[in-house]
Structure 1
């Protein structure tokens, strides 16, 4: 991503085609009660004008997927990363037993666009006839558009359209975790910084709730997700999976990007809880006898 585009995104907004994401419709009289027992958020709070971020967790409280939910007149609609289309669909179907709930894969029936809103006083937002859902999925104020697949492509001018690579860079710069880099079956939602945005601790029981409530009470978890930046050093060492720490593993890099303004390598990493303070400078180890790169860690923007 070039510096000019990054500055344009922050001031004038942008749009991203997310149509490849998996999409489902859940209908039936028990749809809200059923899904509320599967995810970390309070599904009773879903509306037709806002997307609710939630995690689907297993009995151990670890993440099996993250979804964005909204409601229409007689169903719940939600989307998830494309790679979860089969596994997450099967996982949710498995627990529908005596419930009046029907899960339908509607991936091919809808296109999904996300728009990052311009700052007040800058160029206006595009006009469109589609349902607009408030959603800050890139860590910036924005909205989703669910568009029937047989409708013409929307006119989203004057917003620039981001490529998949540019959208990934923006995600990393904003400190937003994603599947499977930061969100996967080894991770608890609070480790990924989702406690404030994708969890409810007052909604009642759901699969994995007991363990996650214990983490909330004690504050203890294996890792915490952090931002990092490397102003110098060998960039070939700064890759996903790189180990932070020399004598012992303190953390592991999960995502990497080049900052469009500074040119520095930046990204996300899981750090062992309590092993390093914010603003620490950690060596990139990878089993090397000499250290050729260091990173400085900092908190996620929403923490």
Structure 2
């Protein structure tokens, strides 16, 4: 069933043939509903992904297309990334912010010279399409949802999947998270795990999914579930719209200036907040990766409270879990959003199913992130200089 304006809901996306593979398990209440969560062994599946031997079914993702001669200049004017001179085949990502700089949409973006392809979460395709359609005004652009015709397959770089190329260019998006983009800024210090993140997402014709399933059955490559891909994403400190973003999120809190924001481009909605926080202020919250104590065999789900337990046993709420998984090398890990004031050196406690799980922090966004302008403090009127 197609809803008005050509947008589709997650329920209208055809069922994934990957769910017919041996051992495929779908978790209906998971973030990645509609695709296999695992095939029996998420840890082994992670190793297969990292080794370039497995593909991940992401056919539940939404795809929005923008065509017309004004497409890149238009998208540039309403999003956080510099897109006016984007060359065909170059992968990037961008954020749609509200007037206060809060994140509303996040998209993976690729232009093939004729069409700009925006990949987003399944639940976000329809709202994104509707918003873009309202913003066209008199510009020469057309917006459509292509989720019913195309699907997304994830893999580590080096594992080639035949990509769709409706305009003559293969639609392969290489995640820019592996380095700081031109015009971007990284708050994380020291060695960044994202440097080893070689993730690609290939857009294929949806009718091709069955052929890919047959190639898995034939042993051409293996299939891995979303749980494996998520654990690897968490270990790379890589933010995701569906998980890390809430109604208050600004890019600085997630270190998303690293790949999705150009700090030197012209005006766009939310740009004033981006500039103020980066140059003069500090983000009110910060992203951390938590190394979780696995002795109780409890993996705190998204939404679990993160608290700081004082010497008097008093519990001070400091944040919440946004994503969690079991990494094949690090064990149980999670991303969490915590208050900037939370002690970076403290061992935190995660409340999960009535059990306290100890969690040590790996700092993604430092407490002193921002205020990069280094504006000198002016002396108070009448103060005497010594």
Q: Normalised by the size of structure 1, how large is the TM-score?
A: 0.84
Matched, 1:284 2:350: yes
**Conserved in 1, the CA contact under 8 Å of 2:293 and 2:357?**
no
SS at match of 2:148: helix
Which structure 1 residue ranges, 5 or more long, are not aligned? 119-124
**Conserved in 2, the CA contact under 8 Å of 1:65 and 1:184?**
no
**Conserved in 2, the CA contact under 8 Å of 1:233 and 1:292?**
no
Structure 1 CA distance, aligned partners of 2:227 and 2:42? 12
Structure 1 CA distance, aligned partners of 2:172 and 2:117? 12
What root-mean-square deviation, in Å, do the aligned CA atoms of Structure 1 and Structure 2 show? Answer: 2.8
Counterpart residue number, 2:17: none
Counterpart residue number, 1:240: 302
Counterpart residue number, 2:338: 271
Structure 2 CA distance, aligned partners of 1:201 and 1:191? 15
Counterpart residue number, 1:133: 172
Counterpart residue number, 1:121: none
Shift of 1:234: 4.6
**Conserved in 2, the CA contact under 8 Å of 1:26 and 1:103?**
yes
Which structure 2 residue ranges, 5 or more long, are not aligned? 1-40, 165-169, 178-193, 310-314, 370-386
Matched, 1:47 2:66: no
Structure 2 CA distance, aligned partners of 1:18 and 1:169? 15
Structure 1 or 2, whichever has the larger Rg, is 2
Query: Match for 2:363 among 288, 296, 299?
Result: 299
Structure 1 CA distance, aligned partners of 2:64 and 2:160? 27
Matching of residues 1-303 of structure 1 within 5 Å = 1-118=41-158, 125-126=159-160, 128=162, 130=164, 131-136=170-175, 140-151=197-208, 153-154=211-212, 155=215, 158-232=220-294, 234=296, 236=298, 238-244=300-306, 245-246=308-309, 247-261=315-329, 264-277=331-344, 279-284=345-350, 292-300=356-364
Structure 1 CA distance, aligned partners of 2:329 and 2:142? 48
Corresponding residue pairs, total: 291
Counterpart residue number, 1:122: none
